Structure 1
Amino acid sequence: MEKIEPELRLFDSSEELSSGSADYVLQLAESAVKDRGSFLFVLCGGDIPKRLGKLTKAPFLRLVDWPKWYVFWAEENVVPKLHPDSLYWQAKECFISQVPLLPAHVISVSHGVAGEVAASSYEFSLRQQVKNRTVQASPSSDCPRFDLVLLYLGSNDRVASLYPNDPVLQEESQWVACVSQDGTSESVTLTLPVINAAANVAIVAAGMDPSRPFMDAMVSGKPSGSHPAQMVSPQDGKLVWFVDAGAASLFLRGNEHR
């Protein structure tokens, strides 16, 4: 399949970005349910679940075919389930508990276990989902092919829990990995082969904090591995950036001076 160039959607404000990204999720969900009978959706941390708030209100709450959704995680902090830093807990508080998803369709990372155990367990869960055909395998690899992986660009240049120059960026066979940036806290993350096997990947960059990382991600020529967002490149799918004025400020200023 011919590679599709990334699409950049610019918004004047963070609020408009939230509305635009929620509409995008809804559009993909409706298409996936119509075509295949289910929508396979991968969330990340940060403020992403809050940005889906539009879908938890009328008329979307009633119109969306929620029982056909399956929700997965692109990353999770290795903390107890009810810990404030638990990305599952954050998503449950502001999104999952507000909509009638089927509990069995929410596939989260194990809590209360060591990071490597959590990563191994989550990968096993994903492989079982592919084995029982809840999730189709990618046509170009054995990786799961999700309908949408929704990520955000952090001020520390990360997407999911993939950090610059981390050896995990070169991982080719593992679907899930455990990473640690400071030697103490750990996170579980999907690896690039899984992210790049998705039918659609969207990356959100909002506010001034990620303005430098966003500009770096848009500028080619950096060494491979120095910027994870540059390595997000769906093999048989589409990448869309959702960016507000703050995050795009340095990039747009740079283009004006060219």
Structure 2
Amino acid sequence: MNKVVEVLPDKEALIQRSLELVLAKMQAAIAHRGLCTIALSGGSTPKPLYEKIAQQNLPWDKIHVFWGDERYVPPTHPDSNERMARQAWLDQVPMPASNIHPMPTGSGDPAQDANLHEADLQAFFHTQPGEFPALDIILLGMGDDGHTASLFPHTDALQVRDRLITVGNKDGQPRLTFTAPLINQARTVIFVVAGASKRPALAQVFADVADDSQYPSRLIQPQGELWWLLDQAAGEEIQG
């Protein structure tokens, strides 16, 4: 694993650096393989990044968009990660509808929808059950509690090793999420983290020894590149 830590002066610089890195990785993937697969994160931090990507002149037909996790709500719901990304980016560009691969949340059964999305991923990436496809880019955030995607502290989802998609749990609310092994298969994982409230968890995530089940972001150790992009408020005490 190739790990890079960068601390940027402020949130604006963090978003600009994230944009540069994502564009570079997109262009490299398209040059090498003819397409780019990217999984998006939710939350407030990446929204300005998506708005900036929407302003670029990119070969949209060669970019396929996935989500690392999704709240179990309809895509029209204000809390939906899909809705946020569509408003900020995907609805603003001529990307083919077939290139957008949201997590299904409509059956009323999260486990059933997790199975459905896993089958969709296997079909798209031409993988067999038990195989983990390599996405080009997975964007991640980190919560104050050290969670990432919908891998929350001390939840069953952390233990899932044989699936691509599982059901996460936040205070009794189900979510769909990439599993740690799927994230770790990625060619590039990029954490984008802002705010002083993240410092205590970051100290544990970066510690030589700490509890992975308490700080799930520690589980993310991809076979490709791992980038931690932090603003000064979050990363002041972190040495790359």
Normalising TM by the smaller chain, what interval? over 0.9
Q: Contact (CA 8 Å) 2:164, 2:182: kept in 1 or not?
A: yes
Aligned counterparts, 1:232-251, within 5 A? 232-235=220-223, 237-249=224-236, 251=237
Q: Is 1:91 matched up with 2:85?
A: yes
Q: Is 1:176 matched up with 2:165?
A: yes
Unaligned segments of structure 2, at least 5 residues: none
Partners of 1:194 and 1:22 in 2: CA distance: 23
Q: Which amino acid aligns with 1:24?
A: L
Deviating more after overlay: 100-109 vs 214-223: 214-223
Partners of 1:161 and 1:144 in 2: CA distance: 19
- Superposed CA deviations along residues 114-151 of structure 1, whole A, max 9, x for unmatched, are 211221111111111122xxxx79xxx72010000000
> How many Å apart are 1:204 and its aligned residue?
1.1
Aligned counterparts, 1:137-176, within 5 A? 142-176=131-165
> How many Å apart are 1:171 and its aligned residue?
1.3
Q: Which amino acid aligns with 2:15?
A: S
Q: Which residue of 2 aligns with 1:52?
A: 50
Q: Percent identity?
A: 27
User: TM-score by structure 1 length?
Assistant: 0.87
Aligned to 2:18, the other structure's residue is in SS state helix
Q: Contact (CA 8 Å) 2:154, 2:213: kept in 1 or not?
A: yes
Which of 111, 114, 119 is 1:124 aligned to? 119
Partners of 1:52 and 1:9 in 2: CA distance: 20
Which of 12, 21, 24 is 2:21 aligned to? 24
- Superposed CA deviations along residues 16-45 of structure 1, whole A, max 9, x for unmatched, are 100110111100111111111000000011
> How many Å apart are 1:50 and its aligned residue?
2.7
Q: Is 1:81 matched up with 2:69?
A: no
In the alignment of these two chains, the number of paired residues is 236
> How many Å apart are 1:170 and its aligned residue?
2.0
RMSD: 1.6
> How many Å apart are 1:202 and its aligned residue?
0.5
Partners of 2:112 and 2:93 in 1: CA distance: 30
